[in-house]
Amino acid sequence: MNARAVSRLDAALEACLLAAAFLVPLAVHLKAYDPYSLKSALLCTGALLAVGLWLARALEAGRFELPSSRALTAGLAAALLAWSMLRAGPAADAALARAAGPALFLAVLLGPGSASFARSLSWSVLASAAAASLYALAGALGFDPLPWSPRGGTLGSGSLLFAAQLCALPMAWPLVVDLEASRERRALAWLLAALCLAGLTGGAASLDAAALAAALPGKAQAMGVLSGLFAVSPLMGAGAGELSLHLLSGLPEAATALPMLPPSEPLATAAELGLPGALLWTAMVLGALSMALLEARRRSGSGDDRGAALCGAHAASLGLLTLAGLVSAATYAPAPGLWLWLIAGSAAALATERGSAVVSASAVPLPAPARRLLLVPLGAALLLVCALPAARLGGQLMLNRAAALEEAGDPRGALELYRTLRPEDAAGLQASLRAARLLLQEDDGDSVVQAREVLAGAMRFDPYFADALFLCAEADRRLKEWGEAERGYALYARLNPGDPRTYQPLAEMRQTLGDPAGAVASAQTLVRLAPEDPEAWRFYAETVHSVDPAAARPLFAKAAQVRDLASARKDARPLP
């Protein structure tokens, strides 16, 4: 064993974890559509790098060390990590993001977890939150340095920024009361805490009650998806990383709210990993919280005020973040999620620091040169797995480039780029959707057939991709496949009963297929959803007329009335 190399690997592991805690909340990439894709990529890469450094350290030292006092906690985390990997869904990069949390927890617990790491982590979290707060405040005052104005600054949403400040503020306490630190350091801690408080106050002041209330139906729908997924498979879950795909594809209304309202934890874990995953999650997080509180009390009683402040701050941070994750679902997003697992790991490490010197060591029964050779396949394997989040980010960039070409009036160029993306993730699915839409804009049969094939590919990956279902039904209608079209519209209507646009084509298909009663029912639903649309009433009247002309007369009158009302409203509008 080369002791210097082991020491350097220890330092590298600590630096990796602290850098991730600082960087992930601040990282933004303006050339990708999804504000979370870069953060998710960094989270996965950081977790993989941490695991790799820990393994490299163990290979160099010739042993895997498990502190006896941390065995139970490490066992829970390892179980959750293993279960997440076993339940990985087809979206491998999303599954990796879900497994990154327990991996980071383990990396802290079995790696640098100690009072000094806890102090450094407090600095990282506080500095990151303060920088995010400063950027958000600058943006609110009109001094946004980047050509992008998200509501939550670099965090991506107001609720995430709020949760981040809430988590960071308790971390300032042990730094400002640390009498062994220099005056300059304590002043810096005060300044960063003040920035976080300003961000928190600004975030609270900017919360729009009306907007939050309007977003509640979307939240309810998202919760409905969660409950549905859990009910379908309570023990196994839907699969790690599956949730974001279901929410995007099954509920377009909820998808628009997704950046603001990601799924709640631990309910999201329950939906993806089933009851075992949810129980392990709860045991780890609540266990770390209660252990930190007890340790704070013990240290305070034994006169270790510095240590007690650290433990108390970690417990407070963890508690607030868990609550924020339950209410606003902050911890499903990459940045607060990363903090949750790092702070939980650090809290558990602090609580078990006493007695962690005694270890159970599993020796690697190989000489040093052979152990070092193993680092080569380890590095290669990690690089290969790191390619998954990088590929996802690459997909986002390609989608953005193609969408820019489309908006600049080059549909052919855009189509070529859309077709380079395979429908295996959100970017690929949306590329298929946009490509199909471009093809359907052309009126020749070949383009419609190609559009149909593109959509079929997307639905092979996700059979309930709602927008693709609708476009597929449109394509079938143009190809005069009335039965297929009717089935497609009907399925879309079942998945999205509140969307009025599907009922007119559904009624037309049913009329064509000789189902007048079905056609009337669909037209009736249309006017129920769009009671102020004169065209909807006219269509309803015409549909009823084909079945019963006498019954249609009052409906035509109603259509005329609605049209007159609509015109009167338009005339009454004041001129600018």
Partner 1 sequence: MTDRFRCWSTENILDLFVDGRLAAAQEARVGRHLEACPSCRARAEELQPLAFKAAAPAQAPAGLADAILRRFNERSTAPAAPVWRLTPAQAVGLAALALLALSHGVPGPTTAALKPAAVEAPR
Query: Which CB, 180 or 444, lies closer to partner 1?
Result: 180
Among 12, 77, 4, 78, CA closest to 46: 12
Indicate whether 556 belongs to the interface with partner 1 (CB under 8 A).
no
Coarse DSSP helix, strand, coil percentages of the chain, rounded to the nearest 5 percent: 75, 0, 20
The token pair that represents 163 in the structure block: 């949760």
d(CA 99, CA 50): 13
Residue whose pair of structure tokens reads 């979370």 in the numeric block:
36
d(CA 96, CA 85): 8
- One residue of 215, 226, 278, 426 binding partner 1 per CB under 8 A: 426
Indicate whether 119 belongs to the interface with partner 1 (CB under 8 A).
no
Indicate whether 199 belongs to the interface with partner 1 (CB under 8 A).
no
Indicate whether 477 belongs to the interface with partner 1 (CB under 8 A).
no
- One residue of 25, 35, 101, 239 binding partner 1 per CB under 8 A: 35
- One residue of 72, 211, 216, 361 binding partner 1 per CB under 8 A: 361
- One residue of 43, 50, 61, 555 binding partner 1 per CB under 8 A: 61
Instruction: Classify 207 as helix, strand or coil.
Output: coil
**C-beta neighbour count of 575 within 10 angstroms:** 3
- One residue of 298, 306, 401, 422 binding partner 1 per CB under 8 A: 401
Could you tell me the smallest distance in angstroms from the CB atom of residue 8 to partner 1? 10
Burial readout 51-70 (b: 16 or more C-beta within 10 A, e: otherwise): bbbbbbbbbbbbbbebbebb
- One residue of 283, 403, 479, 513 binding partner 1 per CB under 8 A: 403
Indicate whether 460 belongs to the interface with partner 1 (CB under 8 A).
no
Could you tell me the smallest distance in angstroms from the CB atom of residue 309 to partner 1? 20
Query: Which CB, 31 or 354, lies closer to partner 1?
Result: 31
Contact at 8 Å (CB) between 442 and 465? Answer: no
- One residue of 182, 231, 568, 570 binding partner 1 per CB under 8 A: 182
Indicate whether 70 belongs to the interface with partner 1 (CB under 8 A).
no
Size of interface with partner 1, in residues (CB under 8 A): 71
Restricting to residues 221-260, name those near partner 1 by CB under 8 A.
Answer: 248, 252, 255-256, 258-259
Indicate whether 188 belongs to the interface with partner 1 (CB under 8 A).
yes
- One residue of 84, 120, 269, 322 binding partner 1 per CB under 8 A: 120
Restricting to residues 256-315, name those near partner 1 by CB under 8 A.
Answer: 256, 258-259
d(CA 48, CA 422): 25
Could you tell me the smallest distance in angstroms from the CB atom of residue 130 to partner 1? 13
- One residue of 89, 113, 139, 156 binding partner 1 per CB under 8 A: 156
Could you tell me the smallest distance in angstroms from the CB atom of residue 459 to partner 1? 14
**Residues across the chain:** 576
The token pair that represents 111 in the structure block: 């790696």
d(CA 410, CA 403): 10
Could you tell me the smallest distance in angstroms from the CB atom of residue 253 to partner 1? 9
DSSP states of 209-257 as a string?
HHHHHHHHHHHHHHHHHHHHHHHH-TTT-S-BT-HHHHHHHH-HHHHHH
Indicate whether 443 belongs to the interface with partner 1 (CB under 8 A).
no
The alpha carbon dihedral of 495, 501, 505, 506 has a sign of positive
Angle at CA 325, nearest 5°, toward 320 and 326?
A: 100
Binding mask 136-155 for partner 1 (x = CB under 8 A): ----------xxxxxx----
Query: Which CB, 147 or 301, lies closer to partner 1?
Result: 147
**C-beta neighbour count of 450 within 10 angstroms:** 19
